[in-house]
Structure 1
Amino acid sequence: MSSVLSVPSGHLPLQDLRKQEETGELIQPVLFVLLVLVSVLLYFAISLMDPGFVLSDCSDLQFTLGVTEETQDMIPPTTKSLRQRRCGHCLLQQPMRSKHCQTCHHCVRRYDHHCPWIENCVGERNHRWFVLYLAVQLLVLLWGLHVAWSGFTTAPTWQLWLRRNGVLLGAAAVVAVLSLTVLLLLGSHLYLVSLNTTTWEFMSRHRISYLKHCGADENPFDRGALRNLWGFFCGWGSVVWEQVYFREGSDPI
């Protein structure tokens, strides 16, 4: 207790990282700084990345998407029974699972949502990086919460304790709220990814033409949790969702 009370008033207590830095143990401080830098780089990457804007009609995108004539022939002719939707804003033919974003003024392939935090849409090309960013950000916040917790000191009275730890307590409260928010976001995205559905499809399936006729528990794009997660994180090619949607008992890809 005497060592704790000897901390000079008006100075923040030594947290774990500062203690390790002063004793020459730099592994954890360096790792923490690198993790923060990775988080910042991911933020700017997904903010500036093309989320999958539809820039021309579907028929003009076959080369860009790697869709050959042979692949097109694999799509059953029953696709004609579903009316191809043309966007009322940009007047382009929308691929399945795409949606027009009023903020970005573009249709986005496999649209998930528009994120005001990154000022960009989350779609086919940057969704996995968005999830990775949330995971890294959660690690940074939890580590920061641990660092703040390690800095609290004891005191004989509540008034003196608040005087010594008030700033640190406020910072820890903010970090805790942010950690909970990011945890909920990451958990919800991983859950939806495991089902191979998007936030937009999950929230508005009753208004989406290719889903509103499906049952509440029916998802035409679901290939099982493991395959959904593997395809999301490890699959780099664009998927012809019409082919997956109209598969008839065969392998979807």
Structure 2
Amino acid sequence: MTDNICWIIPPGIFIRTFHSLLTVGIFTALCVTDTDLNHAYQKGQWLYLSAYLLLLILTSIFYFISCLLDPGYLPKQQYQVRKRTISLSSSSESSDEDEDEASRGEDARMLRKSKRSPTAVKLRKCPICKIEQPVRTKHCEDCQRCVRKYDHHCPWLENCVGERNHRYFWIFLLLQSALILWTVRITWGGFTSQTTFTDWLHSNAIFTLVLLILLVAAMVVISLLCCHSFMLFNNQTTWEFMSRHRITYLKNLDESYNPFHEGYLKNCVKFFFYCPYQKWEVMVEKYCTPSGGIV
């Protein structure tokens, strides 16, 4: 039965609808029960209500932006593998293994800084999309597309997190964390004491269920916020952090070295405010010698 439902309803629509219904359901449950939200409405405390509603609406907006925005898909027509001045070193005749087994047959090509000295940067050809991938690009098996500055495929968004939507995903995590913590406070205030456990459970059944959902969500969302804040400050992606030893442009560098790190402030400014796609190849090339070492 579940398989039939998933076959009829696209996963993206199912997940986003479930997220929306869960959010609205919890909000409604807290509005109609004896909580601070209900008291604020009855007493006309519109500032309190407006602040909570604004946070809820903003969280939903950034959730759907993260879901629906192109994460940085590589246009197949624009990046078809083209003839260019490329030299293949003898050591690069066999392709380097990447995170996916499908990448084993990819063509690793050496770029040149000049006609005399090839750098250690390698552009890979995606064996599925048949296009040349810029640095930090990875093919997503779920989306079946190559994504710029690929971070991960998020099942809760049913979308990739990449160069174009990563900032909105981080803002969503921040707002969602604040909303969850505030809602935990409201839920906790709704619990009432009873003489017996049966009476207590009967009186607080809704609050108990809501609190359990919120605590699980809090652990996941706040953990993700901390992880992505670390990535933001260091100009890293989850894929690069987890699979550094398999990535062609990172595996030969020193373990503690990040060629994309430009200082914490500059990393943050570029993350939030820099809109054009960045040429990450240039940042890797300027730190590499012809032999693949760091200058």
Q: Same fold (TM over 0.5)?
A: yes
**Equivalence map 1:88-99=2 (5 Å):** 88-99=127-138
Tell me how far 1:13 sits from its aligned partner. 4.9
Tell me how far 1:79 sits from its aligned partner. 5.8
Aligned AA (2:61)? L
**Equivalence map 1:2-151=2 (5 Å):** 13-55=33-75, 56-57=78-79, 76-77=113-114, 81-151=120-190
CA displacement, residues 220-253 of structure 1 (integer Å, 9 cap, x when unaligned)? 111222221222122223211011112259xxxx
Which ranges of structure 2 fall in alignment gaps of 5 or more residues? 1-31, 83-111, 289-295
What is the rounded CA distance, in whole Å, between the counterparts of 1:46 and 1:21 in structure 2?
32
Number of aligned pairs? 224
Structure 2 length-normalised TM: 0.71
CA RMSD of aligned residues (A): 2.1
Seen in structure 2, the aligned counterparts of structure 1 residues 160 and 48 have a Cα distance that, compared at 3 Å, is same
Aligned AA (1:85)? R
What is the rounded CA distance, in whole Å, between the counterparts of 2:73 and 2:66 in structure 1?
14
Which residue is equivalent to 2:4? none
- Where do 4+ consecutive residues of structure 1 move more than 4 Å? 78-81
Aligned AA (1:54)? L
Which residue is equivalent to 1:159? 198
Match of 1:220 among 256, 259, 266: 259
Q: Tell me: higher relative CO, structure 1 or 2? Use CA pairs within 8 A at least 6 residues apart.
A: 1
Seen in structure 2, the aligned counterparts of structure 1 residues 103 and 166 have a Cα distance that, compared at 3 Å, is same
Check the 8 A contact 2:244/2:250 in 1, yes or no: yes
What is the rounded CA distance, in whole Å, between the counterparts of 1:228 and 1:203 in structure 2?
20
Report whether the alignment pairs 1:241 with 2:261.
no
Give the 3-state SS of the residue equivalent to 2:126 in structure 1.
coil
Which residue is equivalent to 1:203? 242
Match of 1:175 among 189, 214, 223: 214
Check the 8 A contact 1:79/1:246 in 2, yes or no: no
Structure 1 length-normalised TM: 0.82
Seen in structure 2, the aligned counterparts of structure 1 residues 246 and 29 have a Cα distance that, compared at 3 Å, is same
